[in-house]
């Protein structure tokens, strides 16, 4: 197993993306044949808006986490909430299990193609391209 410090965490739920300010966080790559990761987010209780619902529903959702260094690209995960534990009335520990998504090859080229298809150019193209490289949102399927 390998452990990593989590610097940033966001997840998708009910058609929205939520950024969760972390007090602390850790990712554990179990390095097993199922490619399972365990993630723990230590957050203020006020940000526990959807995790109890996700724990009850056992829904699998998309998430992104920056590992080890703030400037690293986010890693994409498919996760489910495994446990939610209140700590000292003001904090919550949220435990996730899931798999890391294999990044598509040639992401930059696909992103640029998509932005050009969207009609972007100039400074807006450059701005959206930088954002896309940093946050790596899912891309639309390639048109054939």
Tokens for 65?
Answer: 């986490």
Full-model pTM = 0.71
Those residues with Cβ within 8 angstroms of residue 88's Cβ, 6 or more apart along the chain or in another chain: none
DSSP assignment of 44-95: EGGG-SSHHHHHHHT--EEEEEEESSTTSPPEEEEEEEEEEEEETTTEEEEE
Domain boundaries, the chain: 2-100, 106-144
Residue 141 predicted with pLDDT over 80: no
**Mind listing the pLDDT tens digit for each residue in 31-75?**
888 889 999 999 999 988 899 999 999 999 999 999 998 878 788
pLDDT over threshold 80, residue 136: no
């Amino acid at each position: 197993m390998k452990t990593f410090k989590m610097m940033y965490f966001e997840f998708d739920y009910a058609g929205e993306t939520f950024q969760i300010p972390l007090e602390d966080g850790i990712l554990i790559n179990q390095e097993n044949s199922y490619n399972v990761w365990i993630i723990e987010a230590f957050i203020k209780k006020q940000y526990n808006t959807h995790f109890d619902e996700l724990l009850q529903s056992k829904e699998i959702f998309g998430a992104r986490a920056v590992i080890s260094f703030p400037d690293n690209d986010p890693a994409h995960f498919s996760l489910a909430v495994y446990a939610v534990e209140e700590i000292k009335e003001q904090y919550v520990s949220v435990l996730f299990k899931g798999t890391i998504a294999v990044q598509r090859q040639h992401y930059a080229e696909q992103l640029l193609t998509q932005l050009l298809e969207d009609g972007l150019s100039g400074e807006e193209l450059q701005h959206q391209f930088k954002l896309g490289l940093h946050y790596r949102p899912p891309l639309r399927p390639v048109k054939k």
